[in-house]
Amino acid sequence: MTIYLAIALGGSLGAVSRYWVSSKTYLWLGSEFPFGTLMVNISGSLVMGFLVIVLTEKIEIPEELKFAILVGFLGSYTTFSTFALDALQAFHNGAFMKVALYMLISVSGSLIGVWMGYQSARMLMR
């Protein structure tokens, strides 16, 4: 149960951080392009790649803290970082077709999903 609480706490901090970073980025660079989301996704992926090595291979920390950071905070800050880590791990395992398929399905499936949700809401709201 304490792992779930750790994830929840990390997740709440990640969500607030996502909003703050995204908002500040849009103020700085404007909103003509999704700079805020891009900044969150790239920075989250960078931090995920760094911390997954540090927290699993270099230093020992309690499991609850590891889950709070990697699953809670970064998972809430950006799920794109988890997507990137999954793809990188499959790539390192030599599963090149799996990586390509995963990336294609993830990106196109997410775009189709958001379009379908958007269209469904439009139809229901008429």
> Where do runs of H (alpha helix) occur along 30-78?
35-53, 63-67, 74-77
Give the phi and the psi of residue 71 in degrees, each rounded to 5: -85, -50
Where along the chain do its domains lie?
2-77
Digit-coded pLDDT (tens) for 68-97: 999 999 999 987 877 888 889 899 999 999
Q: What pLDDT is recorded for position 96?
A: 93
Residue 31: phi, psi to the nearest 5? Answer: -115, 20
CA distances in angstroms from 31 to 35, 45, 61, 104, 123, listed in the order given: 7, 22, 39, 27, 28
Sites in the chain below the pLDDT cut of 70:
1
Q: Which residue shows structure tokens 């999954």?
A: 86
